[in-house]
Amino acid sequence: MSSISHSRPDRSGLVLLEVMIATVLAAVGLVCLIRLHLASMAWLRRLEQTVQATSVAMDAIARAQVEGLDCPRTGQVIINGNRYQWHLDLRQMGLPEQQTLPGLEAIDVTVTDLTRSSPLASISSAVYVGKRP
């Protein structure tokens, strides 16, 4: 009687290839996640700096309002090496051009990031100045 032996094909090479492919895919995914995280952190830093620039603009306008001085129409501020410009346009708000803004409760201030040009570059903000009745 002859015996027939059933041998299984050697799958070690195939398993090694599968492990290598899985490792490469995991590494690519990790790199993508790290890049996404860094990009979102940079975006949040820029947003925070733009909000700080808006705060500087609001302070300047409110200070002029309280002291009865001419309201500043534009100004620049540098935050962490980035230049921001703020601009107040009364005509855009439907108000006549005037030197002071007595009794005005809300205005729109546009802050522009002069260092970069991107969709996040301009932010409009409502600013409350003066005393409410």
Per-residue DSSP letters for 16-78?
HHHHHHHHHHHHHHHHHHHHHHHHHHHHHHHHHHHHHHHHHHHHHHHHHHHHTPPPP-EEEEE
Q: How far is CA 114 from CA 29, 54, 127, in A?
A: 34, 14, 21
Residue 38 is encoded by which pair of tokens?
Answer: 């860094």
Q: Which amino acid, one-letter code, is at 51?
A: V
pLDDT at site 132? 42
pLDDT at site 90? 56
pLDDT at site 86? 73
pLDDT at site 55? 77
Q: What are the average pLDDT values for consecutive 10-residue runs of the chain, which has 133 residues?
A: 61 82 92 90 81 77 70 73 70 51 55 61 49 43
